[in-house]
Amino acid sequence: MAAAQSLSQLSLVQLKTSLFLTPKTLHKQNPCLFAHHNHQNQDQLSITTLPLKTRSGLVPKPKASLSSVPVQSNASSPISTKKSDSPIIVIDNYDSFTYNLCQYMGELGCFFEVYRNDEITVEELKRMNPRGILISPGPGTPQDSGISLQTVLELGPVVPVFGVCMGLQCIGEAFGGKVVRSPSGVMHGKSSLVYYDEKEEDSLFAGLSNPFVAGRYHSLVIEKESFPDDELVITAWTEDGLVMAARHKKYKHLQRNLRG
């Protein structure tokens, strides 16, 4: 539903050697570098590696399903051999585009772990001491996002949080905004001009023309009339004024609702 091509400019990203993922295939040799933890819904895995350790032991090969994808290894792919005691935690809201975002982080050599939104609690997340949190896109509304809303409220003041699509909606709703259907209708794979505030966007769109053409893939938006401008500031918008990005005025939560 969204992309984050400016991840390299966020405080939660640090350049290292590379790990390569693709939306449908994971290329890697070391299962410790990328962990997609799921011990409840093995037949719903979007992507996995074998072997992969979770809290319940080794994950068996997923059953064939519409959301299962093949796993391949690529011995020639450069990968990071470093681990981190403070990984970037990706909260997967059951969306395949999560792995496009992982692709970007992997290309930067980031160490990250992926958890479904109903696999862990916020307290468990705190104990992981993450140096950053990425909240993925997902179907439904923020009310369907598991721990995402509470994560924004409890960890946002101390950990950089980057929300994409539903992740942005979670940030907006957590601070009092309303998430509604886009007055422009369903925007799946449609392009739009996006404008951004060059003073407020905090380098998220650095290097892009203003406006720029971006692909969109969403049907919900944060309602502008109820936008919590006492807490958040709008940093990007469409020609018809729909919110495309925002950040917290103090904690600088960031999001981009685009595939551009």
What number is the average pLDDT over the span 5-9?
36
- What pLDDT is attached to residue 127? 94
Helices 148-155 and 166-174: crossing angle, nearest 10°? 60
In CATH, the number for domain 7-255 is 3.40.50.880
- What pLDDT is attached to residue 238? 92
Q: How many CA atoms lie within 13 A of 136 on its CB side?
A: 25
**Dihedral, 230, 232, 238, 242 alpha carbons, nearest 10:** -60
Give the predicted TM-score (pTM) of the model. Answer: 0.67
Question: What single-letter DSSP state applies at residue 87?
Answer: P
Q: What's the CA gap between 152 and 154, in Å, rounded?
A: 6
Chain centroid to CA 242 = 20
What number is the average pLDDT over the span 178-189?
81
Sequence-separated (6 or more) residues with CB below 8 Å from residue 2: 97, 101, 137, 164, 165, 167, 168, 217, 218, 256, 257, 258, 259
- What pLDDT is attached to residue 65? 27
Question: Average pLDDT of the chain?
Answer: 71
- What pLDDT is attached to residue 252? 63
Q: Where are the domains of the chain?
A: 7-255
